[in-house]
Structure 1
């Protein structure tokens, strides 16, 4: 009987010491978790919390904390990217506005100080001032358009759009210019109507941008094409040329805001680096996607993807 009591007492002490050891270990783990988490947050590192423990509840807590840390790190990276982009944008905006303003002020100074100007010369300078002012206004409108698109303030009504008609109208509006510049034009638009979810005005603007871009940067190839095709879910519009194209290393960047690398095509609006950015934002506002593929002097194609709408 005494031996049995001694065994029970020993077992009880064993349980107590085990529990004490576990509590101490858990306390140490919690203390380490707190200190490490504080260090990660303070130093803004990309570390994760790694604690060896058999405590399932603590394991769940660590998993949740690591998910939060990962989300925070992604948010911080996005914020840094946006901040860098905004600084670059402000710098480019300042430059792009300063250039035409300097030209305008130069013309005005000549008009004010040069008394020897003939009436014909004076009118010619006034015409240049007017044209530069229009260019400046157009550039400012582009900045505002991009700001509205990125903020979501620009409401675009989506309806069923006949893609064939919109494409035909837009390519025909450039026909005289293309003929004058000696372009060979290839149009592949099916006779059977294809409908997609979109907005006629915005889609027309997208196509106008891409065709203008192809004319400006595909001039070496003297070839421009437009094709419309579809599958069960999507309608595709290809605008392509055979110009100098875009190198593979730049393809992923041409849609970035303010990307103005000399070899890029993102200079539709007075070198502002806004043309293809606005085009992409418009396509996305239509619920679609836009992609670029390029083999220099063979085929550079911008492909718009819109959700197909059937009868």
Structure 2
């Protein structure tokens, strides 16, 4: 596309060219007419002069004398003189022999003078005698008041044409120079006019391409200067507004991206146009696979399709609890509402999902915990209440029976005490009300110390207990009392759930940054379906045996919390009827919290 200055310059060029051509034709026409008039006047003056001479010399009736006189005008004056009578017969001619010349009565200029009686005859034509264009002027010869003939003067137009050609050439050069100078001036003028316009157009183009830092750099005055200032002010205002919009957009994006709740936006056409990372996680798909999809396809996961349809069609708010079972079970608190554009025109629907799976799980755990605690407390309380009531009724008189009942009451009260103590202990650990008393300890020595504590149980159940080599010292940083409790609980469980004559192996493995405590037995094992719940409170694999052993069902829950307080991990492998292997991974050094 041509630039603006080129179009303006071309318009000036065409206008100047038209004006120059018109001026050229106008001047040439004027000059040609001027030369023609001058030539005519010159011919008329000479014709009048010769006519007066003829009248004065009275040579009209003497052809020889007349031819002699006319002959004298041939050299000094480059003009042809011809004298004819009233019949058109040539009487004298300054250039040719009159006897050889044709009758001139049919010549236009002769006819005008002789036959038409005009005072002046004029004609321009090609002369067969002279072989070029000639201008003829004829005047009547008057004798005693009567026209007796005509005196004709003629001049070759070749001289006039040559003079006009030279004049036209000079005029063409002059007008050409004028056209060239005017063209250059118009180009410079158009360039000076369009330069600030080009700058302004370039700035507006860059603004359209979102380069809001661009400004018009012109020093023009007047309207262009005012326009440049207005555009610069507009660009500055636009840049400020775009920065505010981008900042708000970044804030909104950051808020939405970091929300734990899933957010999804569906437009009025039913297509997903926005969602955050939480919603991607809930739908188990990347947003590139979701954006632009129909809400019917996306809403299948949580059965959201009818709810979104209700919002789009009826503009109503929806609050429902929805479920998903793949790839894992999730319970969502769904809030759906219409969103509006300008003029409160509905533009689509907003879907917000809150993951309440853990809340519902905690509520169930709380309910189960209350039920378990109630169940665990009910058994000893019932035993204590029943046997106490029996003793108080006085129906038991046998001392041995009385002692047996009192022993049962004592054992159940001890069990109640252990249960309450474990509950309080677990509560303190979860609330982090028992800070770690860190020290460097020898794990090998600690394992041997716990083994001595459990010596009676080992002897009673005839368990073969294998310990790590006492000479191999393995050190780590931790709370010795809590780690002792971990080892005591795990080894005690291994002994209790292993048949008499069974085997329990305790080993330690040291890595660069961690120490592994491995407790392995060949006891009854744990069913595969029970492994995920083994660390839950009050969960027992063999409930009858666990209660008979005096356990509270909180030991492994306490162990797990104590390990986590040391930033460690616990792993369990078991096969029912083959045994269980529990691995505790503890870091050698505890980072300060």
Shorter-chain TM-score bucket reads 0.7 to 0.9
Residue number in structure 2 paired with 1:128: 408
1:214-229 equivalences under 5 Å are: 214-219=494-499, 222-229=502-509
SS in 2 for 1:237: strand
Larger radius of gyration: 2
Give the Cα separation in 1 of the matches to 2:377 and 2:418: 11
> Which residue in the other structure is 1:157 paired with?
437
User: Does the CA contact (< 8 Å) of 1:242 and 1:296 recur in 2?
Assistant: no
The 1-side partners of 2:549 and 2:424 are apart by: 13
Pairs within 5 Å for 1:151-190: 151-189=431-469
2:320 paired with 1:43:
yes
Identify the residue that residue 204 of structure 1 maps to in structure 2. 484
If the length of structure 1 is used for normalisation, what is the TM-score?
0.73
Q: How many residues are paired up? A: 267
Structure 1 residues 216 and 116: alpha-carbon distance in aligned structure 2, compared to 1, 3 A threshold? closer
Q: 1:36-69: per-residue Cα shift (whole Å, max 9, x none)?
A: 59989722445899xxxxxxxxxxxx9xx99xx5
Displacement, 1:242? 0.4
For 1:217-296, list aligned pairs within 5 A: 217-219=497-499, 222-262=502-542, 270=550, 272-296=552-576
- Preserved contact between residue 213 and residue 268 of structure 1 (Cα < 8 Å): no
Tell me by how many angstroms 1:152 deviates.
2.5
Bigger drift between 287-296 and 94-103 goes to 287-296
Change in Cα spacing, 1:110 to 1:284, as seen in structure 2 (3 Å) is same
Aligned equivalent of 2:394: 114
- SS across alignment from 1:305: strand
Match of 1:54 in 2: none
Deviations along 1:133-190, one digit per CA (max 9) or x if unpaired, are: 1111111111222222223333232332221111110012222331232212212246
In the aligned structure 2, how far is the partner of 1:194 from the partner of 1:139? 34
Offset, 1:116: 4.9
- Per-residue CA shift, 1:218-237, capped at 9, x if unaligned? 12661111111111111011
- Return the structure number with greater relative CO, CA threshold 8 A, min gap 6: 1
Q: Deviations over 1:262-297 (max 9, x none)?
A: 379976984643221111111111221111111345
- Matched residue, 2:64: none
How far apart, CA to CA, are the structure 1 residues paired with 2:316 and 2:504? 58
Deviation at 1:261, TM superposition (A): 4.0
Q: Could you give the per-residue CA deviations for residues 78-108 of structure 1, whole angstroms, max 9, x where no partner exists? A: 1111100010010011111011011101111
Structure 1, unaligned runs of 5 or more: 1-25, 50-61
Mean alpha-carbon deviation: is it higher for 114-123 or for 253-262? 114-123
Q: Which shifted more, 288-297 or 229-238?
A: 288-297
- The 1-side partners of 2:519 and 2:548 are apart by 15
Task: Show the counterpart of 1:305.
Answer: 585
* Equivalent residue, structure 2, for 1:55: none
The answer to whether the 8 Å contact 2:462/2:502 transfers is: yes
- Specify whether residues 292 and 268 from structure 1 end up closer, same or farther in structure 2 by C-alpha distance, changes over 3 A only: farther
* Structure 1 residues 110 and 162, CA gap change in structure 2 (3 angstroms): same
Q: Aligned Cα RMSD in Å?
A: 3.7
Instruction: Give the 3-state SS of the residue equivalent to 2:467 in structure 1.
Output: strand
Q: Following the alignment from structure 2 to structure 1, what is the Cα–Cα distance between the partners of residues 401 and 548?
A: 31
Take 2:568 and 2:316, find their aligned partners in 1: how far apart are those partners? 43
- The answer (yes or no) to whether the contact 2:528–2:576 under 8 Å persists in 1 is no
Secondary structure of 1:97's counterpart equals: helix
Q: Which segments of 5 or more consecutive residues in structure 2 lack a partner in the other structure? A: 1-265, 275-306, 323-331, 337-348
TM-score (norm 2): 0.40
Q: Match for residue 471 of structure 2?
A: 191
2:376 aligned with 1:96, yes or no? Answer: yes
User: As a proportion of its length, which structure holds more strand?
Assistant: 2
Post-superposition shift, 1:123?
3.6
In structure 2, do the counterparts of structure 1 residues 288 and 32 end up closer, same or farther at CA, with 3 Å as the change threshold? Answer: closer
Structure 1 residue 120: deviation in Å? 4.6
1:188 partner SS: coil
In 2: Cα distance, 1:113 partner to 1:233 partner: 65
CA contact (8 A) 1:93 1:272 kept: no
Instruction: Tell me the distance in 2 between the aligned counterparts of 1:166 and 1:264.
Output: 32
